[in-house]
Structure 1
Amino acid sequence: MFLRNCWYVAGWSKDYGRTLKAQMLLGENVVLYRLEDGTPAALEDACPHRKLPLSMGQLDGDTVVCGYHGLTFDCTGNCTDSPTQRGMTPRRAVVRSYPVVDRYNLLWIWMGDADKADPADIYEIENYDHPSWGCTDGGILPIACNYLWVVDNLLDPSHVAWVHVTSFAGGGTDSAPLDMEKTDRGVIVSRWIYDQPASPYYKDLVKFSGNCDRKQHYEMSVPAIALNKSIYTPVGTGGPDAPMVDDTYINISYNFMTPVDEHNTQYIWFQHRNTDPTDKAVSEKMNAGAVMAFNEDKEILEAVHKGMDAMITPNIDLGLDLGAKTFRLKLQRMIEAEQADA
């Protein structure tokens, strides 16, 4: 069901502090917190005695104290105190610990074999600290659907013509042909649309007037990280081999899908643009537009999950599903290989 030997986004770094925060990730109950020096930590959210969630206990310095009988655990999961039988702590009084790393204002967690966790494998966000690029605050959205339906949606440039009429839609998004290419980490579905008005979301953000050449670039990397890039450039300056001109506008939406369980997904995102690095008004406007659009996706995807889960007649695929089907096949093979090695 899930690829485990990889980095997922647990949440925004700012949302974790000196309190015990319970989350379900990939069907596992986890408690996350910070040590006194700010270092993040994550443990299985279950005391080995009677499986009371450790998140119902309390922090004592850098240790977690179970709220039932006081068994105390350090950030590695080892029991450091057993008040009811000191000196006779059971050898099996251990909880699983998970590698966690702060990067890009996000808290990343490794849900698989801890010995295989390498922070160098965390997904790279190019130009993240570049002074000429602006960022939105982003957001977090629970979606009551399997994470792969969100993956499919983020590899489908065509859906914007019907789902996002007032935001990301525009001329050519309903019918222009799509290109697909495989990458080491997934797939890219893209297309250039020529000499059309900018979509409603972008018309006041681009730095030139009139029609534009527009690229929709939808890229998915394992386990479920989407880079959706929109490029707007004056008519006649766009195309697969065309160099960027001074007025070229680029916005990248980074989307991180973390499965909660088989039926729920945690969706975290932010936008990164090559203009207006310090303009908070632009960031707030873009973020508000993204929230509206992603809630439109949420409504559709939750209904899709229910429909596919209770189908009576078989579903069909369309040509636009090629990218999603290719990515799913790659991911499934990786999951099978991982399970075979376990």
Structure 2
Amino acid sequence: MFLRNCWYVAAWSKDVGRELKAETFLGENIVLYRQEDGTPVALEDACPHRKLPLSKGNLIGDIVECGYHGLKFDCSGKCTDSPTQRGMTPRRAVVKSYPVVDRYRYLWIWMGDPALADPDKIFPIENFDDPSWGKTDGGVMDIDCHYLWVCDNLLDPSHVAWVHVTSFAGAGTDEEPLDVEKTDRGVIVSRWIENKPPSPYYANLVAFEGDCDRLQHYEMCLPAIALNKSVYTPVGTGGYGKPPVDKTYVNISYNFMTPIDEDRTRYFWFQHRNTDPDNAEVSKFMNDGARMAFLEDKEVLEEVHLGMKHAKTPHIDLGLDKGAKLFRKALDTAIEAETASAELAVQA
């Protein structure tokens, strides 16, 4: 169901502090907190005695104390004290710990084998530290649907023509043909729309007037990370393989889907543009517009989840589903390989 030996976004870094924060990722209950020096910690949210969530207990210094009988656990999940039977702490009084790393304003969590948790494998965000690029504050939203429905949606440039009429839609988004490409990290669905007006969302953001050439670049990477790139450039200057010109506008929407369980997804995002690095008004406009559009997606996807989960008749696929089906196949292959490797390790 889930790919585990990979990094998922667990939270915005600013949202995890010196309190016990209960979360669920990939169906596993986890408690997040920071040690006194700011180091993030993620532990199984269950005391090994009677499974009371540790998040219902207390954070004392860098130690988590269970709220039932006072068992104490350090950042590695080791029990450091058992007040009711000191000196006789059960050897199995251990909770699972998860590697966590702060990067790009996010807290990332590794849900698989801790021995394989390499921070260099965190998804790279190009130009993140480039002062000439502007960032939005971003956001987070829970969607009551399976995470792959969100992934499908983010590999579908066509839906904007009907779901996002006042924002991302525009001439050519309903019928221009799509290019589909498999990459070493996922799938790209894209198209250049030539000599058309910009979409309403971008009309006042681009650095030129009139019609444009426009790229819709929808990329989905394992395990569930979408890089949606919008490029606007003067008519005649766009197209595959053409270098950007002075007035080329680039906005990249980074979207991180973390499965909560089979029926819920936590959706994180922010936008990164090659202009207006210090313009708070532009950042707010873009962030507000993105949130509005994602709420439109949420309404549709929650209904899709229920409709597909409780379908009474067979569903059909359209040509526009090619990219999503290709990504699902790549993900299935990765999960199967991971499962086979884990089974071999157990046998050894």
Normalization by structure 1: what TM-score?
A: 1.00
Which residue does the alignment assign to 1:108?
108
Which residue does the alignment assign to 1:142?
142
Structure 2 residues without counterparts, runs of 5 or longer: 343-348
Which residue does the alignment assign to 1:264?
264
Output the CA distance in 1 between the equivalents of 2:241 and 2:222: 27
Instruction: Give the AA of the match of 2:71.
Output: L
Instruction: Give the AA of the match of 1:164.
Output: H
Output the CA distance in 2 between the equivalents of 1:219 and 1:241: 17
Which residue does the alignment assign to 1:27?
27
Output the CA distance in 2 between the equivalents of 1:45 and 1:135: 34
Secondary structure of the corresponding residue to residue 278 of structure 1 = coil
Which residue does the alignment assign to 1:90?
90
1:341 equivalenced with 2:332 (yes/no): no
Output the CA distance in 2 between the equivalents of 1:241 and 1:140: 34
Secondary structure of the corresponding residue to residue 180 of structure 1 = strand
Equivalent positions of 1:218-297 (< 5 A) are 218-297=218-297
Moved over 4 A (4+): none
Which residue does the alignment assign to 1:318?
318
Which residue does the alignment assign to 1:77?
77
Percent identity reads 74
Secondary structure of the corresponding residue to residue 258 of structure 2 = strand
Which residue does the alignment assign to 2:189?
189
Which residue does the alignment assign to 1:68?
68
Displacement of 1:89 in angstroms is 0.2
| CA offset digits 1:270-320 (Å, max 9, x no partner) | 000000000000000000000100000000000000000111111111111
Output the CA distance in 2 between the equivalents of 1:222 and 1:117: 15
Which residue does the alignment assign to 1:159?
159
Aligned-residue CA RMSD in angstroms? 0.4
Instruction: Give the AA of the match of 2:40.
Output: P
Output the CA distance in 1 between the equivalents of 2:250 and 2:330: 29
Which residue does the alignment assign to 1:44?
44
Which residue does the alignment assign to 1:303?
303
Displacement of 1:333 in angstroms is 1.0
Instruction: Give the AA of the match of 1:340.
Output: A
| CA offset digits 1:209-235 (Å, max 9, x no partner) | 000000000001000000000000000
Which residue does the alignment assign to 1:11?
11
The farther-off stretch of 312-321 and 92-101 is 312-321
Secondary structure of the corresponding residue to residue 97 of structure 2 = coil
Which residue does the alignment assign to 1:130?
130
Secondary structure of the corresponding residue to residue 127 of structure 1 = coil
Instruction: Give the AA of the match of 1:74.
Output: D
Secondary structure of the corresponding residue to residue 302 of structure 1 = helix
Instruction: Give the AA of the match of 2:129.
Output: D
Output the CA distance in 2 between the equivalents of 1:337 and 1:236: 45
Output the CA distance in 1 between the equivalents of 2:199 and 2:39: 43
Instruction: Give the AA of the match of 1:204.
Output: N
Displacement of 1:174 in angstroms is 0.2
Instruction: Give the AA of the match of 2:214.
Output: R
Output the CA distance in 2 between the equivalents of 1:164 and 1:304: 17
Which residue does the alignment assign to 1:178?
178
| CA offset digits 1:68-114 (Å, max 9, x no partner) | 00000000000000000000000000000000000000000000000
Normalization by structure 2: what TM-score?
A: 0.98
Secondary structure of the corresponding residue to residue 98 of structure 2 = coil
Which residue does the alignment assign to 2:207?
207
Instruction: Give the AA of the match of 1:7.
Output: W
Structure 1 residues without counterparts, runs of 5 or longer: none
Output the CA distance in 2 between the equivalents of 1:50 and 1:243: 62
Displacement of 1:340 in angstroms is 1.5
Aligned residue-pair number:
342
Output the CA distance in 1 between the equivalents of 2:122 and 2:309: 32
